[in-house]
Chain A
């Protein structure tokens, strides 16, 4: 029997309540997977996010983390 490991994928996660909606993250995302929603906070499109972490490194408030999620 082949044992299947649960696959984990890396995704960017924004702490919405702390986001200042400056949009720095949107400028560095290679996939266009993050955008500022109505001037409120940054929103990640998990389908497009490849978990590269560029947005997390760019965020001036340092409120984006790359986390492992179940695929």
Chain B
């Protein structure tokens, strides 16, 4: 099959995650991966982002298929069930909200800046070496929080890539669930 320019977007994923090791402020770039899929779905593009452009999906595909890291097993049935997908989306949003709340508290001076990356919402990793100052504390706090989310979800994606099929993450990806919900709402109102 013919390769397109957008078949190389997995590189973006690697560059993004790498930048976070050197300058945590680069985490802000990741907002593109949040807003772009939503905007495409809102303006009627359906799940074009998942289908063609998702850098993470491509990376998982590459690791699972090309590098043969995937067991290629059928995932458990609950993974694609609505209760699990919506439940994971809800959990994800609560954690995202908590991250925004901490960002606010740091901005309001009620909390000191925490220079950590939190893996899997629980494991605190020291990360101060990727912060070089020069911005308001809340800007830095958001970077640490947002990068934590990106690293955590990539890690979950890699775990399910290894255990099941390469792009198993796509089944319960909160962004994917949201864009499908938006697509459903659109088709219902048409």
Mark contacts of B59-86 with chain A using CB atoms, 8 A cut-off: 1 yes-contact digit, 0 otherwise. 0010000000000101100011100010
Contacts of A20 in B (CB 8 A): 80, 85, 170-171, 176-177, 180
Q: Does A24 contact B (CB under 8 A)?
A: yes
- Are A22 and B168 closer than 8 Å at their CB atoms? no
Q: Is the interface of A mostly helix, strand, loop or mixed?
A: loop
- Are B46 and A60 closer than 8 Å at their CB atoms? no
Contacts of B168 in A (CB 8 A): 60
Q: How far is the CB of A65 from chain B (nearest CB, A)?
A: 11
Contact (A23, B45) CB under 8 Å given A38-B187, A40-B183, A61-B80: no
Report Cα–Cα, A61/B167, bound state, in Å: 9
Contact (A22, B170) CB under 8 Å given A60-B164, A60-B165, A62-B74: yes
Q: Does B14 contact A (CB under 8 A)?
A: no
Q: Does A63 contact B (CB under 8 A)?
A: yes
Cβ-closest chain B residue relative to A35: B51
Q: Does A39 contact B (CB under 8 A)?
A: yes
- Are B75 and A38 closer than 8 Å at their CB atoms? no
Contacts of A63 in B (CB 8 A): 80
Report Cα–Cα, A23/B75, bound state, in Å: 17
Contact (A40, B75) CB under 8 Å given A20-B85, A22-B51, A22-B171: no
- Are A39 and B41 closer than 8 Å at their CB atoms? yes
- Are A22 and B167 closer than 8 Å at their CB atoms? yes
Q: Is the interface of B mostly helix, strand, loop or mixed?
A: helix
Considering the complex, which residues of chain A in the window 26-68 have a beta carbon less than 8 Å from any beta carbon of chain B? 26-27, 36-40, 57-63
Contacts of A21 in B (CB 8 A): 46-47, 50-51, 176, 180, 183
Cβ-closest chain B residue relative to A27: B1
Interchain Cβ contacts under 8 Å between A and B, 25 examples: A18-B81, A21-B50, A22-B47, A22-B57, A22-B171, A22-B176, A24-B61, A26-B51, A36-B51, A37-B46, A38-B46, A38-B186, A39-B46, A39-B47, A39-B48, A39-B186, A57-B72, A58-B165, A59-B165, A60-B164, A60-B168, A60-B170, A60-B171, A61-B79, A62-B74
Residues of chain A having any CB pair with chain B under 8 Å: 18, 20-24, 26-27, 36-40, 57-63
10 extra A-B contacts, CB within 8 A, seeds A27-B1, A36-B47: A21-B47, A21-B180, A21-B183, A22-B51, A22-B57, A22-B171, A39-B46, A39-B179, A39-B186, A58-B165
Counting from the closest, the 4 A-B pairs by CB-CB distance are: A39-B46, A39-B183, A23-B51, A39-B47
